[in-house]
Structure formats: structure tokens, C-alpha cells
Amino acid sequence: MFFDNKYFYDFMDRAGKLGINVPVLPGIMPITDFQKIKKFADFCKAAIPAQVEAELAPFIGKPEEMFKKGVEIAIRQCEDLLANGVKYLHFYTLNKADAVREILGELKI
């Protein structure tokens, strides 16, 4: 799980230099509740970029708007991964399949 693709790209670069050539699926977690994801990310030692926090901050306490913005951010993240040669994506749904359904519909995959 990561919210900044540079962590995935750096990991893949290091893995490649070590001769690891098996498929690695990036873990995408749509942020539909910032406060819950922030706690989860802290627990997992995953960084949430300041830009993402700033984009989501106005929607704290506004669940429908948070959902839409979180889906938008995840779509951008996935588009970047796909544009950079990633062939497969893994989604952490946390029982929020609607978010993933919207992301996949927008990505048309």
C-alpha cells in the first residue's frame, strides 16, 4: 500500500537491480475516509503525501465529497502506474467495492 507512486517505482528499481523479475502488483487503497486511512497508514508506516492530505482536508466530515475526491486521487495514481508500464493493479477495498468499481470504470480496464 502506498499513496505516492515514487515508492513503488523505487522498490521496483531496487528489486530489478537484485535480479528479482517476478510480477509485483502495486497495492492501491482508495481514500474514502481520510481519518481512518491516516490511522491505518501510520500503523503500516505508509506515508500520505502532503499534497494528498491538502486535497482531502476540505472534505473531512463530508463523506460523499471525500469519497469522490478519494476516487479521483486513486484514478490519477492508477493512470500514472499504467502509463509507466504497470500491467496489473491490486486494490484494497476494505469493504468499499463501490470506490474500486468507479475507479475501474473510469480506467476502462
Q: Which of 4-13, 34-43, 90-99 has the highest average model confidence (pLDDT)?
A: 4-13
pTM of the model: 0.91
**Residue 17 grid cell:** 537491480
**CA dist., res. 12 & res. 52, Å (int):** 23
DSSP 90: E
pLDDT confidence of 44, banded at 50, 70, 90? confident
pLDDT confidence of 1, banded at 50, 70, 90? confident
**CA dist., res. 44 & res. 21, Å (int):** 25
Question: Is the distance from CB of 26 to CB of 89 less than 8 angstroms?
Answer: yes
